[in-house]
Structure 1
Amino acid sequence: MGAVKSKRMPRAVREQQMLDAAVRTFGQRGYMAASMDEIAELAGVSKPLVYLYLNSKEDLFTACIRREAAALTEAVRAGVHPDLPADRQLWEGLRAFFTHTARNPDGWAVLHLQARTHGEPFAAEFTAMREEIAALVTQLILAAAREAHRDPDLPEREVAGLAEALVGAAESLAAWANATPGVTARQAAATLMNFAWAGLGDLMAGRPWSPPEEPERAQAG
């Protein structure tokens, strides 16, 4: 009897295997230090096969960013349930965000640390993901305003600014939580919720914080 041939792995499965190895390598070693040789070795394939599937190191890195960005965005969207009160929607969205980044620290390092610091087009891929999440948070803030007031009086620019501030805080807190032993995703989400919702709650109740008035400057003689 002849030798039984091993079943050929489907291209899509093999490609995901390569991306898994690449995300791990880029996340832990950084884009510049990572080599195609170690990615191929970790994936259990030859380097020429990596090039055949993904063309170049730049294309491989872009594919990693896109995959990790899509997975994170989907996780956040799946965590938000429109039938819940506004504060619960925000809580569930934050918990989904921190749960995903905690479970995928290499993927988050690729997005938050690597994609942003190695120029275009990598930074553009990260920015696209960030804008999508910020748009979702904007809708959550607007939902909170509608819930608090039938006719919310929040300027569009202020709502967008609040969303940007919240997303930026979540990004920094996720990086800190992943680097700090013992901090759980739930704790990180609760920390940001306490930080953000107390202020948002006052804003929705019509009690915004106002900066002190600027003293009048003496006119130049």
Structure 2
Amino acid sequence: MGGARTKRMPRAVREQQMLDAAVQIFGRRGYMVASMDEIAELAGVSKPLVYLYLNSKEDLFTACIRREAAALTEAVRAGVRPDLPADRRLWDGLLAFFAHTAEHPEAWSVLHLHARTHGEPFAAEVAAMRAEIVAFVTRLVAIAAREAHQDPDLPEDEVAGLAEALVGAAESLATWANATPGVTARQTAGTMMNFAWAGLGNLMAGQRWVPEPT
């Protein structure tokens, strides 16, 4: 009698295994330098199987961006409880963001660095993720303004600008934190809150900074 046949791994599981390996290689080495041979070896599969499942290096990189972008946006959304005060919602969202980027540094490198530097269609994929996060933060700022004032809300363009500034600062801080040994996600979120909420808190209380007349 022949030996027992090895149970085949389901395609979905094998594909995620390939994506896990690809994110590590792309994140560490960049899109141009990374090779399909390296990815296949790390995934424990043959290179032809990677091509069979994911078609091309470009398609593989796009799949990595989409998966990691979805995971990051979901982590931020899941971290925020709508029944809490505005400052606590912002804190929880920032903590979720920095915890995720710290736990998945190669994925953050793929999204924030490599995908943006190789043109379309990669940059467009990251731009879509960023727009979703900015829209989420915009709603948080708008809700904070409504809670602080019976009437009126902050102007729409000012809310949008504040959200863009917050997201941009958080992105830069996440990259710095991942490159700085010993910095925790909680410390990074605290730094961001100290930078952002003190100013936002004054703004919500109607205390605006204006330049002195010249």
| TM-score tier after normalising by the smaller chain length | over 0.9
2:120 corresponds to: 120
Query: Could you tell me whether the CA contact under 8 Å between 2:95 and 2:189 is conserved in 1?
Result: yes
Letter in 2 for 1:23: V
2:91 corresponds to: 91
Work out the CA distance in 1 between the residues paired with 2:82 and 2:153: 22
Work out the CA distance in 2 between the residues paired with 1:208 and 1:132: 28
TM-score, normalised to structure 1, is 0.95
1:171 corresponds to: 171
2:67 corresponds to: 67
2:4 corresponds to: 4
Letter in 2 for 1:75: A
The runs of 5 or more residues in structure 1 that have no matched partner are 216-221
Structure 1 stretch displaced more, 98-107 or 202-211: 202-211
Once the two structures are superposed, residues 180-212 of structure 1 have per-residue CA deviations (whole angstroms, 9 ceiling, x without a partner) of 000000000000001000000010000111123
1:76 corresponds to: 76
How far residue 152 of structure 1 moved from its aligned partner, in angstroms, is 3.1
Query: Which aligned pairs between 1:96-115 and structure 2 lie closer than 5 A?
Result: 96-115=96-115
Work out the CA distance in 1 between the residues paired with 2:210 and 2:40: 56
Once the two structures are superposed, residues 149-193 of structure 1 have per-residue CA deviations (whole angstroms, 9 ceiling, x without a partner) of 111331111100000000000000000000000000000000000
1:219 corresponds to: none
Work out the CA distance in 1 between the residues paired with 2:95 and 2:54: 33
The runs of 5 or more residues in structure 2 that have no matched partner are none
Letter in 2 for 1:113: L
Work out the CA distance in 2 between the residues paired with 1:21 and 1:48: 15
Is the partner of 1:130 in helix, strand or coil?
Answer: helix
Work out the CA distance in 2 between the residues paired with 1:135 and 1:71: 17
Work out the CA distance in 1 between the residues paired with 2:205 and 2:169: 23
2:181 corresponds to: 181
| The structure with more radius of gyration | 1
Structure 1's consecutive aligned runs of 4 or more residues displaced over 6 angstroms after TM superposition are none
